[in-house]
Amino acid sequence: NTNSIPQNLTGLHRFFSKYLSFSGQTLTQPTSASAQPGQTVSLTCKASSSIGSNLHWYHQIAGQAPKLLIRYATNRQSGIPERFSGQYSGTDFTLQISGVQPEDAGYYYCHTYDNKGSLTNL
């Protein structure tokens, strides 16, 4: 149950995810991943059919509103640290965090233009 995972993690960061399906389109994130602070981690999101670059990444810390990190697959939102980057190929999307920091803990959502999405807990 991802809701029982602490939001503020130290040392080893763990990622948990689930998938959501809406109107025949599914965005799926990995079952698990891990990284030590300072390492690079890639969070993936796979669309079940083509959505072009219409995929956005959000980060949410418990008790706060989600923060937009990456717009349209590759465009970093103003004010977001350069350690966050987005790539995609076809229906495969990746959010890369180069040098994971403790403040990066929280939920990561991939979201497309018609309210379809998935999440990963970091």
Is the entire prediction scored with pTM above 0.85? no
* pLDDT computed for residue 17 by the predictor: 39
Average pLDDT on 102-106 reads 86
pLDDT tens per residue, range 51-98 = 899 899 988 888 888 899 999 999 999 999 999 999 999 999 999 999
Confidence at residue 90, expressed as pLDDT on a 0 to 100 scale: 96
Domain chopping of the chain, boundaries: 16-121
Q: What is the CATH class of 16-121? A: mainly beta
pLDDT tens column, 21-61: 444 568 887 766 677 899 998 999 999 889 899 899 988 88
Task: Pull the structure tokens for residue 21.
Answer: 């399906």
Task: Tell which phi-psi region holds residue 99, choosing left (phi > 0), alpha (psi between -120 and 50) or beta.
Answer: left
